């Protein structure tokens, strides 16, 4: 049976292909979350790309200068990669804090998220994030993680999940150039493969829809 949709859920599509989903929820009051979901994860990688979705996530998120624009506003941003998605999100107050000139945070948060769509792979940033990802791979490589990988490999032996773990392969991560990553970004970070996934929180639907027009700048 098809699960029923939430009665307050609003879905739409911009002219350039971006899909958006809005769910008003006033609890807690004065807060919202905005997620940008790229419909591409480790299961979408080619054999020689294992770990590339995760590394791109690091480069796009940490290399975004706009992310700093909402620091100090009570906002929190982060990103993650799984088998089927790469997600960037911002959890923010609906208004800038009292010490600032009061203005809505939603357009600022959406602008930060849109920044990952236009990432230019910088050599210095790539090397920093390559080192961070290799360090992360070393940290998670414990018995619990290896057991989990074995279980998933057995459960999904008939599909790519059995051999496409988001952390990737160390020797491949060390080998990619910025051109390799830029090509992956161009292939997957495009409007018809992205959902401005769930702007959820204490938001007005009509105002949020107007803010979504920001994404029409992306062609």
Active-site residue set:
57, 129
**CA dist list (Å): 151 to 29, 41, 146:** 41, 19, 9
Strand positions, DSSP E, the chain: 10-13, 19-24, 31-38, 76-81, 86-93, 194-201
DSSP 120-154: ---HHHHHHHHHHHHHHHHHH-SHHHHHHHHHHHH
CA separation for the pair 66, 78 (Å, rounded): 13
């Amino acid at each position: 049976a098809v699960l029923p949709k939430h009665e307050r859920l609003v879905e739409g599509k911009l002219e350039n292909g971006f899909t958006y989903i809005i769910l008003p929820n006033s609890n807690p009051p004065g807060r919202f979350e905005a997620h940008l979901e790229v419909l591409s994860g480790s299961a979408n990688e080619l054999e020689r790309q294992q770990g590339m979705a995760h590394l791109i996530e690091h480069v796009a998120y940490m290399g975004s200068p706009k992310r700093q624009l909402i620091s100090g506003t009570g906002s929190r941003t982060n990103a993650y990669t799984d088998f089927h998605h790469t997600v960037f999100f911002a959890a923010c107050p609906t208004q800038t804090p009292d010490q600032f000139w009061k203005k809505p945070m939603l357009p600022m948060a959406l602008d930060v998220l849109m920044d990952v769509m236009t990432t230019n792979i910088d050599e210095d940033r790539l090397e920093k994030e390559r080192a961070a990802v290799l360090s992360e791979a070393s940290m998670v490589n414990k018995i619990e993680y290896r057991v989990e990988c074995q279980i998933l490999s057995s459960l999904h032996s008939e599909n790519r999940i059995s051999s496409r773990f988001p952390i990737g392969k160390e020797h491949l991560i060390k080998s990619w150039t910025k051109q390799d990553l830029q090509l992956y970004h161009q292939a997957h970070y495009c409007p018809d493969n992205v959902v401005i996934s769930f702007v959820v929180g204490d938001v007005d639907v009509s105002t949020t829809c107007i803010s979504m027009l920001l994404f029409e700048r992306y062609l």
